[in-house]
A and B are shown apart, each in its own frame.
Chain A
């Protein structure tokens, strides 16, 4: 019986090794072919595009340029795109610089944040503790906020949290905003759990972000003060804020899912009146930090169904009503840059 079992086991090992080996080998070959295949999109000249108003984004068109940062003209977003030499998971660009969060694949995958100059050369970089989530530069270009997902590895357990940090573009480290004092109605509060994500800057000291405490059941919009290291609760049920160019409104995603399900619908908060407009013309769940195309239009990425890793950037009027439309095909993480 022992011998028969041993034979059966050997046979099992051989079958599994051959089957999974063949499957993996085929995938390796196919994936290499795919990465080498030229990306099929109409291309423009980078130097020419960079002199005019444009949208900078991460291109998700498959092929050898997958994941590259690219640009399209602001007045012709569906037109040809110019590719830069850098690859980023998340990108926020301005005329003089860009913040890029990227994955460094390898036997050991690590993640980092980079600051790039106008010629897409790295000027500084620092390590991120986990998968890139959001990044934003401040309007004056002095600050950069980054959010990464961190997996809390207790032995064989998988708990997630976010680490959100603010750095000065001059190299100052303002630390993890989780350590800032959290204030609600003038009192310091200390929820037993808190997660922070999605920084959006008003100026070189004021910013907005999300603070979630599951134990207390809140997902707050908080207003941060860098100098005083405080976060003040503004309003509940606001996630992933994005300040409008004129600084009067905040676009965000609101969880409208029922019975514990998650469904994020874009929404806009008027800071002066506190009025919230939920843009229910968007039926899909939107999981992105919304950006402003102009003072009346939102843009955000939505992954394509059935095409892993490919997403499109959609636009929608900030006042609601009309349905979303595709702004840039095969794109993610857009930002408007004006020279």
Chain B
């Protein structure tokens, strides 16, 4: 019998939140029935916390993407200004928020209150809609874009740490898939909602902002009111120290003698030493290398637009198409990652990006090539974004998980930013198609190398046994490799 299945005694000092975390995490941890050969059988439900966090992201993305979709129109048509001025400031504002992820991850780990940090990030983004309602100057618009980015930077890592803490380690990929599917649904709905409002109310930008603000407020409300205040570190400590003695408590309830302290708040504390871990270093290196070969989608869309009338006509919606593909494939990709290995899926997902580059760079042009490119981009996001968080979340222990996830995401972000700037040079030096095809070749070469570098990450535990059919194995560093 596994440790998880053993009935646990609840002591009064265990707070509801900590209990909830444990429950969420272990409710589904029952081993699958030994005889079950049905590979498609679900291994328990996805935690309600993950679903709620997904809905919070869905609402927030509806809110931010609806505004992002109409901002260019608003600035040019309504404020009568040129977007060129806006684009300039936009470029400057991209680097800093991605570094915020590390800071927010650290705050979240140190205080062991990821929800509070995430709530701050979500609230900041909601506040930007209020700014848009109050002021119409370009400075205000610029400020909202900047603050929204910072909010996004703050909330991501703690939220992903909460998802990791509320998930069964064996199906963590699926949990992230569910979250990302909901999140991306919001990005697809947002622009459509905004255009419907503008269609009903010509020039009704304020109405878009009002609706966006309302949706954001509901999102923050859902987080604050419905998501438990998870204490991942404390929960993990309690999980490891089951007896009252181990917890440094008196031997019996209500004893007042011999109280040392409830040490749950204490050790092990946060430390940056996770950065020294070989596995994480490899993941970071691979992420940076692959990130340096990931140019912005904008370039792919522009390449498609330059040769295909269909892509031109639907240009504003190309990214909605990508998001629809991403949304649909996020859960299957997460399940696949749980089954065959998260590092494998993460690395080989970049093959889809190579495909998207080829579609963009190929001399043939047709509607189907454009659609294929969008599908491939969707596959790329589905197999990388949530999977990276799942991989790191699984690898790194609770104490520094949010910081590790934040660091990995920030490494990807910054390297993609560098890639896009550098790609701009190629784009104008050797031409559109040539530039895209060059990056495609480099990426095609980098993928097998990355797969080689991460080949041990999906391997079974230190025992060295072969993976048991149909049942994902915990990675080497997973502390709680209980099933043996």
Contacts and interface: CB of A to CB of B under 8 A. Distances in A.
Interface of A: 1, 5-6, 8-9, 12-13, 16-17, 19-20, 23-24, 27-28, 31, 35, 89, 105-110, 112, 126-131, 133, 149-163, 176, 179, 190-195, 212, 214, 262, 287, 303, 308-309, 311
A107 B88 CA distance: 30
Nearest to A29: B201
The 6 A-B pairs of least Cβ separation, nearest first, read: A152-B298, A154-B296, A160-B87, A127-B313, A303-B80, A20-B214
A162 B85 CA distance: 12
A326 B8 CA distance: 82
Contacts, number: 177
B366 to A, nearest CB: 15
Chain B interface bracket (under 10, 10 to 19, 20 to 34, 35 or more): 35 or more
Interface string B191-208: 010011111111110110
A110 B316 contact: yes
Contacts of A194: 428
B312 A128 contact: yes
A1 B94 CA distance: 40
Contact of A158 (B68, B225, B302): B68
A153 B71 CA distance: 13
19 contacts: A5-B225, A9-B222, A12-B221, A13-B218, A16-B214, A24-B210, A27-B207, A31-B202, A107-B195, A109-B195, A129-B312, A131-B77, A153-B318, A157-B94, A157-B296, A160-B84, A179-B431, A179-B432, A287-B82
A9 B297 CA distance: 37
B211 interface: yes
A27 B210 CA distance: 11
Nearest to B319: A153
Contacts of A27: 201, 204, 206-207
B305 interface: yes
Interface in B176-229: 187, 192, 195-204, 206-207, 210-211, 213-215, 217-218, 221-222, 225-226
B199 A109 contact: yes
A126 B311 CA distance: 12
Given A16-B214, A160-B90, A194-B428, A154 B298 contact: yes
A156 B198 contact: no
A158 B192 contact: no
Majority-rule SS of B interface residues: helix
Contact of B428 (A126, A127, A193, A214): A193
B152 interface: yes
A110 B428 contact: no
Contacts of A131: 72-73, 76-77, 83
Nearest to A210: B84
Contacts of A16: 214-215, 217-218
Interface centre among A24, A133, A176, by most B CB within 10 Å?
A: A24
B199 A153 contact: no
Given A106-B195, A131-B77, A9 B204 contact: no
Interface centre among A28, A106, A149, by most B CB within 10 Å?
A: A149
B428 A19 contact: no
A23 B72 contact: no
Given A150-B302, A153-B319, A160-B72, A9 B225 contact: yes
A207 B73 CA distance: 28
Contact of A6 (B82, B217, B225, B421): B225
B140 to A, nearest CB: 15
Given A154-B298, A190-B429, A214-B88, 13 more contacts: A9-B226, A16-B214, A20-B213, A110-B314, A127-B313, A128-B312, A150-B302, A151-B316, A153-B297, A159-B90, A159-B296, A192-B421, A262-B82
B449 interface: no
A5 B83 contact: no
Nearest to B139: A261
Contacts of A158: 68, 71-72, 87, 90, 145
Contacts of B381: 155
B91 A159 contact: yes
Contacts of A17: 214
A109 B316 contact: yes
B404 to A, nearest CB: 22
Interface of B: 16, 64-65, 68, 71-73, 76-78, 80-88, 90-91, 94, 145, 152, 187, 192, 195-204, 206-207, 210-211, 213-215, 217-218, 221-222, 225-226, 296-299, 301-302, 305-306, 309, 312-319, 322, 381, 420-421, 424-425, 428-429, 431-432
A200 B347 CA distance: 49
B460 to A, nearest CB: 34
Nearest to B89: A260
Interface centre among A1, A12, A19, A109, by most B CB within 10 Å?
A: A109
Contact of A24 (B78, B91, B197): B197
A174 to B, nearest CB: 13
A303 B77 CA distance: 10
Given A24-B211, A108-B317, A133 B204 contact: no
Nearest to B313: A127
A20 B78 contact: no
A194 B309 CA distance: 23
Given A16-B214, A24-B207, A28-B200, A155 B297 contact: yes
Given A127-B309, A152-B296, A19 B214 contact: yes
Contacts of A110: 313-314, 316
A7 B206 CA distance: 30
A192 B425 contact: yes
B76 A149 contact: yes
Given A105-B199, A158-B68, A150 B309 contact: no
Contacts of A129: 305, 312, 315
A312 to B, nearest CB: 12
Contacts of B206: 27
Nearest to A154: B296
A150 B83 CA distance: 9
A163 B264 CA distance: 60
Contacts of B218: 12-13, 16
Nearest to A105: B199
B226 A5 contact: yes
A156 B187 contact: yes
Contacts of A31: 200-204
Contacts of A311: 80
Given A12-B217, A109-B198, A150-B315, A20 B210 contact: yes
B476 to A, nearest CB: 32
B258 to A, nearest CB: 32
A105 B202 contact: yes
Nearest to B200: A28
Nearest to B431: A179
A163 to B, nearest CB: 8
A25 to B, nearest CB: 10
A308 B94 CA distance: 30
Contacts of A155: 187, 297, 319, 322, 381
B202 A35 contact: yes
A126 B313 CA distance: 8
A164 B316 CA distance: 17
Contact of A149 (B72, B94, B203, B301): B72
Contacts of A12: 217-218, 221, 225
Nearest to A1: B16
